[in-house]
Structure 1
C-alpha cells in the first residue's frame, strides 16, 4: 500500500506515537493502539452524500493532514502504509460482517500481519465492537482480554475464521474471513456499496467511534454513548450541538 504523500514521521505525529520503532510484534501492538486512540472511525463523507475516495493520496491527506478519520478501507489502508514503511509484511483480507439479520457480502477490510514469526489479525475500522490490539491467529477458541473487552477467534472445517466479541453476557459474531489475499482494487465495489446503498448503515446514520484507553466513545445518529472502564453512559445530542461535539469529543475537522 503506497501513497506518494505518505510521510512516516507525519503519520507518527498524527497518532501521537512515541518510543522505539521496529518491525516486531511489540511495535505492531503499540502502533495499532496509538492510531485507534487518535483516529476516529467515521462516515461523515458518506453522510454528506459523497462516495469515499479509495485513492491512497486522498486517504493520507484526509486523515493525516486535515485531520479526519475514516471507515475501514481508509483507516486500515493508512495503517498498511505505516506497516510497509517500517518493514512489517502484511496482506489485505476481505471479511463478512455478521451482525446483520441476513447474510451479507464480504464488504469489510482487515489486515493479516506477520510479526515475530506469527500471524496477527489487525483491524482499526470495525466501529463499535472492533478489536483493540492485534490478535494472534494461532490462539483459537480462547477468550482474549483487551482492556475491559473480550474477543475470541475460532476456525471452521473450511478454514474460515470467526471473530466474536463478548457483548451483553454472550458471544456475538462480528465477522468471518479466510486467508485469501485481496488487492486494494478488490474493495472498490464494496466501498461504493457502503457509500451509496440505502441499506448500508453508513448511509442510514452518522457513526463516529473513537477508542480511548478507558473504553470508547460512540456517536450513532443523535445518540452519544461513552463506555469507560466497563460502565456505559448515553445521552442524546441536539442537532445544533453536533458539529461542536465532533470537534471537542472526537478531535475532527468538519468536512467541507
Structure 2
C-alpha cells in the first residue's frame, strides 16, 4: 500500500491546521484522540465536492494517492467519497494506523444503490471504528465504534446510529450488514438510513470500477450536480457545530437551523463563492470547461 513521506505529512498537517505533538508519535500513544482530531480538522478544511467533473477539460478523477495529494494539499481541493477517503486512508497508514477500506450502498429514494460509496474501518485497541470523511453534511463527524445499536451526536441537530442487521432487499434474512442512519434530534423524528457497508476489505481495483461508473454515468448525482461542502468548527476548533454547503445555485449553512445565505445566478458568482467559503480557486481555463454543460449557471434573460 502507498504511504506519504514525513514531508508530505507535515504539509498536510499545515494545510488542515493540525498542531501539537508529532502525529506519528501521538498516534502510538493516544491513537483515538489523534484520529478524532485529524478527522475533525480534515472535514473543516478539505471539502466534499464534485468540482473536477464540471470545471476541468478531462472530467476524470484519479484514485492514485500521489495524484490525490497534489489535488488536495497542493491545489487546495477536496473530492467525493472515493477520493477523500482514499487520501485519508493513506495518511492514516502512513502514521501507522491499522485499517481497511470498504464498500457501501447509499440509500436513495427508498432503495439502496449498487456499490457506490467508500469508507474506512480503523482498528484501535481491538475495536473497529467507522471513519468516513466523504459523505457530506450527514456523514459522521468523528470515529464511530462498530457496536450494534450505538447512537451518537453528529453535527447539530443530527444524531447518528449504527445497526448490524439485514436489509429489506436481502433475499436471505440471515445476512447482516452495518447500516448508518441519521435523524434530526427532535422528539418523534424518524431514523433515515443513509448507507450500508460491509466489513469485507475492498481492493484498489474494486474502487477503480466503482469510480469509473460514478464519475462518468450520466445519471450520477456528482456528474449532474456542482457540489461543495465542509464542516464549521467552533472558535476553539474543538467541535464541528455546523456545515456550509454550495449546491448548484445557492450557498446555505446549517448551524442548528438551515439558512440560505446566497443565491447564485452566474458562473462568476459561483466561482467567487467557492473561493470565499471553501478556499477553492477555479482558474479562468477551468471556468471555461463548464460552458455548455447542463450544470453551467447561465444568467436569466428578461421574460418575454
Q: Settle same-fold status: TM greater than 0.5.
A: yes
Give 1:197's match in structure 2, choosing from 207, 211, 217.
Answer: 217
Q: Contact 1:76–1:123 (CA<8 Å) still a contact in 2? A: yes
Give the equivalent residue in structure 2 for 1:39.
Answer: 46
Q: Secondary structure at the match of 1:161?
A: strand
Give the equivalent residue in structure 2 for 1:143.
Answer: 151
Q: Contact 1:99–1:173 (CA<8 Å) still a contact in 2? A: no
Structure 1 stretches of 4+ moved >6 Å: none
Give the equivalent residue in structure 2 for 1:158.
Answer: 175
Give the equivalent residue in structure 1 for 2:291.
Answer: none
Question: What is the rounded CA distance, in whole Å, between the counterparts of 2:134 and 2:68 in structure 1?
Answer: 14
Question: What is the rounded CA distance, in whole Å, between the counterparts of 1:181 and 1:253 in structure 2?
Answer: 35
Q: Contact 1:25–1:116 (CA<8 Å) still a contact in 2? A: no
Considering Cα pairs closer than 8 Å and 6+ residues apart, tell me whether 1 or 2 has the greater RCO: 1
Q: Give the root-mean-square deviation of aligned CA atoms.
A: 1.8
Q: 1:198 to 1:101 in 2, by over 3 A?
A: farther
Q: Contact 1:41–1:70 (CA<8 Å) still a contact in 2? A: yes
The unaligned stretches of length 5 or more in structure 2 are 166-173, 234-240, 287-304
Give the equivalent residue in structure 2 for 1:220.
Answer: 247
TM-score (norm 2): 0.79
> Residues 92-119 of structure 1, C-alpha deviation per residue, up to 9 Å, x if partnerless?
0000011344431111000000113311
Q: Contact 2:162–2:179 (CA<8 Å) still a contact in 1? A: yes
Q: Contact 2:3–2:94 (CA<8 Å) still a contact in 1? A: no
Give the equivalent residue in structure 2 for 1:246.
Answer: 274
Give the equivalent residue in structure 1 for 2:2.
Answer: 2
The unaligned stretches of length 5 or more in structure 1 are none
Post-superposition offset of 1:13: 0.8
Larger Rg: 2
Q: Contact 2:3–2:91 (CA<8 Å) still a contact in 1? A: no
Q: Contact 1:97–1:104 (CA<8 Å) still a contact in 2? A: yes
Residues 97-246 of structure 1 mapped to structure 2, 5 A cutoff = 97-138=106-147, 140-148=148-156, 149-156=158-165, 157-167=174-184, 169-213=189-233, 214-228=241-255, 230-234=256-260, 235-239=262-266, 240-246=268-274
Q: Contact 2:137–2:231 (CA<8 Å) still a contact in 1? A: no
Question: What is the rounded CA distance, in whole Å, between the counterparts of 1:93 and 1:154 in structure 2?
Answer: 16
Q: Contact 2:4–2:91 (CA<8 Å) still a contact in 1? A: no
Post-superposition offset of 1:60: 0.5
Give the equivalent residue in structure 1 for 2:16.
Answer: 15
Q: Contact 1:93–1:110 (CA<8 Å) still a contact in 2? A: yes
Question: Quick check: 15-24 or 194-203, which moved more?
Answer: 15-24
Correspondence 1:78 to 2:87: yes
> Residues 47-82 of structure 1, C-alpha deviation per residue, up to 9 Å, x if partnerless?
236021122211000001111111111111111111
Q: 1:183 to 1:115 in 2, by over 3 A?
A: same
Q: Contact 2:249–2:264 (CA<8 Å) still a contact in 1? A: yes
Q: 1:26 to 1:116 in 2, by over 3 A?
A: farther
